[in-house]
Amino acid sequence: MWVPTGTQRGTRRMALTFTVTVRQVDGWHARPATEFANLVAASGQQVSVAKAGTAAVRGDSVLSLMMLGAKCGETLEIAIDGSQPETLAAALKSLF
C-alpha cells in the first residue's frame, strides 16, 4: 500500500507497507535480524516492523527486531517511509 507522506528537500516521500512471512525454521533470530537491520540502516530510510498483537519496532534495531519473537510461519508487517521505498522493499523481501 502506498501513502504519500509529504516532501523532503523537494522530493516526494512515500510510505510503502507490505507483509512477509518468516520462513526461517528457527524463526527470526540474530542473523536474519542483523541482515535486515543492516539493510535498513544503510538505506537511511525509516522502517518499522510489527507482528500481529505487538507494537511496531524500528527496523534498524537488531534487539528490537529480535524482541518481536517472530517464529516460522508468522507474518510481519513492514512499513518503509522514504523517497524510494520500492528498492529497499525488494531487498528486504529477499531476506524472507
CA distance 24 to 7: 37
Q: What is the value of pTM for the model shown?
A: 0.82
What single letter denotes the amino acid at residue 22?
A: V
Domain 2-93 has CATH 3.50.50.60: no
For the segment 2-54, what is each residue's pLDDT rounded down to a tens digit?
A: 444 444 455 555 689 999 999 999 999 999 999 999 999 999 999 999 999 89
Query: In angstroms, how far is the first alpha carbon of the chain from the final one?
Result: 19
